[in-house]
Amino acid sequence: MKYMGKERSREKNLLFVLHSFEILFSSGKSHEEAVAIIAKNGYGAITDDFKEILAKTEKNQKSMHSALIEARAQTKVQNYRLLLEYLAFSYKNKTNILDNIIDIEKKATKEQIIMHKKYENLAVTLMEVYIIALIPAIILNTAIISIKMFSENELLSYFGTTIPQISQTAIASFYIINAIALLGIVFYVYQANPNNR
């Protein structure tokens, strides 16, 4: 669970980090300076990653290139892995990374838009299914309550036959199951929301 929490944090903060790197490299900052700035800002698990990278390089445990490659191996977030790979490559080969940063940023933005659209469609579909299933259940429950309000003689005049008494447990069960179903949908939609990752 802790690992999944870190991955969600990386996904959530990646676009902010990419934008920060774009600004930093555009203003002429070196890799060391850019990494140090990201390590001081509040980008969740990514900030923690860069703090670790910085600590390893400052203690001469690893080169910047090795520390970045090592950090890359600790995540499965594809665009973040790509960022770390490009940072390591450009640091080692002294190449300009700005265009790569912009490309990753565009790619990540596009993927996030698609993800939000999928989430919106999922939420709408689930609520439509819930409403469709709820309408006949409400009609049935209303009928049950109405029936219970009549005496047997009145039922004879309305239906020409007697209807077995429906227990209070059946009605209570309807409300409990309905409430559980609604809470389940709300929780599922909340979990699927990219903003909550």
Q: Residue 70, Cβ neighbours under 10 Å: how many?
A: 16
How large a percentage of the chain has pLDDT more than 90? 35
Shared domain for 80 and 138, answered yes or no, is no
Domain limit, last residue, from 38, 72, 96: 96
Residue 32 lies in a domain: yes
Domain limit, last residue, from 67, 96, 125: 96
The least confident of 60-74, 86-100, 169-183 is: 169-183
> 3-state SS string over the chain?
CHHHHHHHHHHHHHHHHHHHHHHHHHCCCCHHHHHHHHHHCCCCHHHHHHHHHHHHHHCCCCCHHHHHHHHHCCCCCHHHHHHHHHHHHHHHHCCCCHHHHHHHHHHHHHHHHHHHHHHHHHHHHHHHHHHHHHHHHHHHHHHHHHHHHCCHHHHHHHHCCCCCCCCHHHHHHHHHHHHHHHHHHHHHHHHHCHHHC
- Over residues 159-184, the mean pLDDT reads 59
Shared domain for 6 and 74, answered yes or no, is yes
The more confident residue out of 150 and 31 is: 31
> Residue 164 has what pLDDT?
47
Q: Provide the domain limits for residue 135.
A: 112-196
The least confident of 4-8, 67-71, 84-88, 180-184 is: 180-184
Give residue 153's pLDDT band: very low, low, confident or very high (50, 70, 90).
very low
Shared domain for 126 and 92, answered yes or no, is no
List the structure tokens of 137: 């259940």
Shared domain for 118 and 83, answered yes or no, is no
Shared domain for 116 and 87, answered yes or no, is no
Query: CB under 8 Å to 138, separation ≥6 — which residues?
Result: none
Shared domain for 6 and 89, answered yes or no, is yes
Residue 40 lies in a domain: yes
Q: How far is CA 157 from CA 153, 160, 162, in A?
A: 7, 6, 10
Read off the pTM.
0.61
List the structure tokens of 67: 């520390």
Domain limit, last residue, from 29, 63, 96: 96
Shared domain for 92 and 164, answered yes or no, is no
> Residue 194 has what pLDDT?
54
- Using the structure block, give the residue that is written with the tokens 């300009």: 96
- Over residues 69-86, the mean pLDDT reads 93
What is the tally of structural domains in the chain? 2
> Residue 176 has what pLDDT?
72
Residue 155 has pLDDT above 50, yes or no: no
